[in-house]
Amino acid sequence: MEVKVLNKEGKETGKQVSLDPEVFGIEPNQHVVWLDVKHYLANQRQGTAKSKERAEIRRSTKKILRQKGSGGARHGSTKAPIFVGGGRVFGPRPRNYDFKLNKKVKSLARKSILSARATENKILVIEDFAFDAPKTKQYLAFLNALNLTGKKTIFIVDGNENNLFLSSRNIPKTKVSEKGLVNSYDLVNAETILISESALSFIETNLKD
């Protein structure tokens, strides 16, 4: 698939690049995409939820009422879960929500998303550029030139454009990501995927089997 290279003003540069069919032209596997997104979200969970169980409560162990004759149930401690302030039954404990996912599965998920976006003509290749200083206004002008203002976008760059990161971080629905840190969650969340020329070759090489 041939894609025209655009500059930061949204105009054609006269150059074209060919998207590798092994990365941008496969049959999307939706289940693999779901697995990779689930894996990413699971890794974002802190897993620090904790509640005290009966043995961890600090309370008096004095028997609160006599064994018989009260007309109610027999109780030996206010640590019991049925009392206010008592321990919780089978409460949450710190845990790790991560699970194993093979590298080839992750790679297939990313290729599936890129292929789906390429079919929808939602892949834009941008000529390499940089900002002299962090300016949110400049990045907004860049999005406006591409008619992407207010839309969910991700811009995959080579990794040395720190001013681009700083210029975009306060803009909702848009993200600038380094080429080696792209994940399936960000890709599937974006309506349009922007890729710089220098990052494109890395992505194609990295995702090939």
DSSP 98-132: -----HHHHHHHHHHHHHHHHHTT-EEEE-----S
38 and 53 inside one domain = no
12 and 34 inside one domain = yes
104 and 195 inside one domain = yes
Q: Which range of residues forms the domain containing residue 74?
A: 48-95
106 and 139 inside one domain = yes
73 and 167 inside one domain = no
70 and 41 inside one domain = no
Q: Which of 37, 62, 95 is the last residue of a domain?
A: 95
pLDDT above 90 as % of the chain: 67
Query: What's the angle, vertex CA 160, arms to CA 109 and CA 149, rounded to 5?
Result: 65
120 and 90 inside one domain = no
90 and 109 inside one domain = no
105 and 81 inside one domain = no
Q: What is the pLDDT of residues 116-145, one digit of tens each?
A: 999 999 999 999 888 889 999 999 999 999
91 and 38 inside one domain = no
Q: Count the domains in the chain.
A: 2
77 and 111 inside one domain = no
What does the block give as tokens for 19? Answer: 């998207």
Beta bridge partners of 114: none
Distances (CA, A) of 131 to 112, 134, 140, 165, 168: 32, 7, 12, 10, 11
Q: What is the pLDDT of residues 148-207, one digit of tens each?
A: 988 999 999 987 788 999 999 999 999 999 988 899 999 999 999 999 998 998 898 888
The predicted model scores a pTM of: 0.82
111 and 190 inside one domain = yes
Q: What is the pLDDT of residues 87-109, one digit of tens each?
A: 999 999 999 999 999 999 999 99
- Looking up residue 159, the CATH number of its domain turns out to be 3.40.1370.10
